[in-house]
Amino acid sequence: MRPEEGVMQSRAQAMAALLELITDELVIICNGFPSREAHKLRDRDANFYMIGSMGATAGIGLGLALSQPEKKVIVFDGDGNVLMSMGTLATTGALKPRNFIHVVFDNEVYGSTGNQPTYSRIVALDKVASAAGYANVERVREREDIVYEFKDMLASEGPSLLLIKVNEQIEDADRVPIEPSEMTRRFKAAVDKGTS
């Protein structure tokens, strides 16, 4: 099915499908409701929630992927976040970390702050990633396509970008209750596990 057809999922539904497939990967989640939803759906020590700093998530994931080449790093990003730091797409495409999967939940709005429209309906972020040099880029919307492409990316050499078109629905999820210092401690421990 073409990605512009079929039933659109909420971000939480799409995220739940991805989280079911994750095992020991390191996951960095962008600020706003994506972090709240991921925490509600499946909190784990190897999740790092970027509370507050919009646009920073992909850069953190990229640095981690470059410094931990034996681990898979997955970034859960938003369209507004990606637009804010589009240079990170260029850096990722140029440096080509093989262990990096960039998931963009594209609802075409700054959903966490009241659905102000973003430019992602005009600027195709998947095409920007392709032009920048990402190795695999897919645009999906149906659940079965999300699962199929994500599985494929988990088994492939990156950098990969999965653009998931989602609706504007927000899951009723509380703020992430973990103190940043504690989250950093537990995340570092998860990164170090088995590598020393």
Ligand X SMILES: Cc1ncc(C[n+]2csc(CCOP(=O)(O)OP(=O)(O)O)c2C)c(N)n1
The H-or-E segment that residue 28 falls in is: strand 26-29
From the list 25-33, 63-71, 148-156, 175-183, the region that binds ligand X by CB under 6 A is 25-33
Residue 129 falls in which region: left (phi positive, over 0), alpha (psi -120 to 50) or beta:
alpha
Q: Which residues pair with 77 in a beta bridge?
A: 104
Placement of tokens 């088995």 in the chain? 194
User: Which pair of structure tokens corresponds to residue 132?
Assistant: 């920048």
Nearer to Mg ion, 114 or 177 (CB): 114
Mark residues 125-164: x for contact with ligand X by CB under 6 A, - for none.
----------------------------------------
Residue 31 found at the interface with ligand X (CB under 6 A): yes
Please state whether beta strands 26-29 and 47-49 pair in parallel, antiparallel, or not at all (unpaired).
Answer: parallel
Residue of closest CB approach to ligand X: 78
**Which segment (31-39, 108-116, 141-149, 178-186) binds Mg ion by CB under 5 A?**
108-116
What kind and span of H or E run contains 180? helix 180-192
**Amino acid occupying residue 97:** P
Q: Does 80 bind Mg ion (CB under 5 A)?
A: yes
Exposure letters 47-67 (e unless 16+ CB within 10 A, then b): bbbbbeebbbbbbbbbebbbe
Q: Residue type at 145?
A: D
Q: Is residue 57 within 8 Å of 30, Cβ to Cβ?
A: yes
> Can you tell me which of 35, 47, 88, 107 binds Mg ion, judged by CB under 5 A?
107
Compute how many residues bind Mg ion; rule: CB under 5 A: 5
99/118 with CB nearer ligand X: 118
CB of 166 to Mg ion, least distance (A): 8
Q: Is 37 in the site for Mg ion (CB under 5 A)?
A: no
Rule CB under 6 A: which residues touch ligand X?
A: 30-34, 52, 54, 78-81, 107, 109-113, 118
Rule CB under 5 A: which residues touch Mg ion?
A: 78-80, 107, 111
